[in-house]
Amino acid sequence: MSLNEDYFARANQVIPGGVNSPVRSFRSVGGTPYFVSRAEGPYVWDSEGTRYIDYVMSYGPGIVGHSHPQIIDAIQQASGNGATYGAPTLAEITIAEQICKRVKGVEMVRLVSSGTEATMTAIRLARGATGRDKIMKFSGHYHGHADSLLAAGGSGVANQGISGSAGVPKSAVADTIVTPWNELPELNESIAALILEPLPANMGIVPPSPNFLLELRKACDSKGVLLIFDEVITGFRLSKGGASQWYGVQPDLWCFGKVIGGGLPMGAYAGSKKIMSNIAPLGDVYQAGTLSGNPIATAAGIAQLQILNNDAAYGALTESARNLSDGLSEIFKNAGIEAVVPRVGTLLSIFFTKSNPINFDQAQLAAENGMYAKFFHGMLKRGVALAPGPYEALFPSLAHTNEVIDETLEIAKQTVTEISQSI
């Protein structure tokens, strides 16, 4: 038994499924998870000392690479002053000011401890601000594991073959309306909010059709519906101002996570002063968190945003993503394997199908044909770690140099050759 197998067996005795987040279980691809012992730059090392080029990057937070010296230094300095206080800090103000400065339309920010907290509270805020109960979401868009948002979600829900979740009463989703992605929904005055990933990345990369977000903005305005952008993945990744800057469309509320924590647990929701003033202690919409604005997490987040505070960083990220996407596409084409590699800016994914999916139904068909698992394991055994699920994006970082991308593509060529010979 390998050390990874031993660890997984031990984990299964004390942790449900052996993991603390379902997608890590390898359930959708088969096999045994690798247990990471350390990470640096574009690499992770497992418990057996095997090095992998990492495109998981903790599903987004590792945008500047693992163990970046500036972030590590910020964490060490902050932790030397204590882990948590239950009182306000200057760092909370600093990161909120940075978010307001970077994202046009954001005037106030409330820090929380996860993306799920951010989306859950944004929904509550929208209901409180409008006096309406119903919300609308798109199928395949994942907004965390809050009860009302688990209906027809992507990412881990889709990877596990779970339709919603047991333990969620019908009453919790009774006011949640699910509508197909890339089709303009019918809104009415009973709906408090429309929440979406402006660039869906939890069912693979399935971009909005041209002008779709603008049409949603207009439709929401016509019915008094608040538009919520879940930018937990896209926030500060697509651009300095996230997806709202990238697409030129401003929502009423934003949800952030991943990048803003610098690798530590942190999320945020944000919007105008008018809407955010409905949150306690100013208003009647209650939300609290003992560890919200944690001083170590805010220090890490401030450091990461500082590294990303220039156009050159996003240019480098986009170039890496483009080279990886173009290279993979050429490899699949030359091998005669039906595959597409959709990319928007710094984000990309892989679908083993003829054409880019435009909705969740098409993404599911592409994800469930068994090809991704073959590619995943072929890459893994050669030293490249992709997400163990066909619905996830690839996350190149500033540490993924041209040399690292070239090595990845050479490994992909070997993997695809092996697959083509077996089918």
Positions marked active-site = 142, 230, 258
pLDDT in tens, 37-71: 999 999 999 999 999 999 999 999 999 999 999 99
pLDDT at 152: 58
Same domain? 288 vs 394: no
For residue 351, give the CATH number of its domain: 3.90.1150.10
Supply the pLDDT for residue 164.
Answer: 63
HEC string for 364-390: HHHHCCCHHHHHHHHHHHCCEECCCCC
CATH number at residue 292: 3.40.640.10
Using H for helix, E for strand and C for coil, what is the string for 192-220? EEEEECCCCCCCCCCCCCCCHHHHHHHHH
Average pLDDT by stretches of 10, the chain with 423 residues: 94 96 92 97 97 98 98 98 97 98 98 97 98 95 86 50 64 86 96 98 96 98 98 97 97 98 98 98 96 98 96 96 98 97 98 96 92 97 97 97 98 97 83
Domain identity same for 240 and 325: no
Dist. CA 279–CA 393, nearest whole Å: 33
Predicted confidence at residue 158, as pLDDT, reads 44
Q: What is the pLDDT of residue 162?
A: 38
Q: Which of 283, 307, 331 is the last residue of a domain?
A: 307
Task: For residues 250 and 365, state if they share a domain.
Answer: no
Kindly give the pairing relationship between strand 347-348 and strand 384-385. unpaired
Q: Mean pLDDT across the chain, nearest whole number?
A: 94
Note whether 71 and 303 are within 8 A (CB): yes
Is the domain of 266 the same as that of 321?
no
Q: Please give the pLDDT value at position 153.
A: 52
- Return d(Cα 75, Cα 49) in angstroms, integer: 26
Same domain, 34 and 115: no
| Closest alpha carbon to 410 in 305, 340, 349, 323 | 323
Q: Which of 284, 307, 330 is the last residue of a domain?
A: 307
Q: How far is the C-alpha of 218 from the C-alpha of 134, rounded, in Å?
A: 19
Residues 75 and 41 in one domain: no
Side chain identity, residue 29: V
Domain limit, last residue, from 239, 272, 307: 307
- 268 in the same domain as 170: yes
Structural domain total, the chain: 2
Do 202 and 111 fall within a single domain?
yes
Do 85 and 56 fall within a single domain?
no
d(CA 351, CA 202): 13
Residue 160's pLDDT is what?
Answer: 38
Q: Is the same domain home to 132 and 92? A: yes
Q: Say yes or no: 12 and 136 in one domain.
A: no
Length of the chain: 423
Q: Which domain holds residue 404?
A: 3-67+311-422
Query: What is the Cα Rg of the chain in Å?
Result: 21
Give the pLDDT confidence of 89-120 residue by residue, as tens digits.
Answer: 999 999 999 999 999 999 999 999 999 999 99
Whether residues 361 and 405 share a domain: the answer is yes
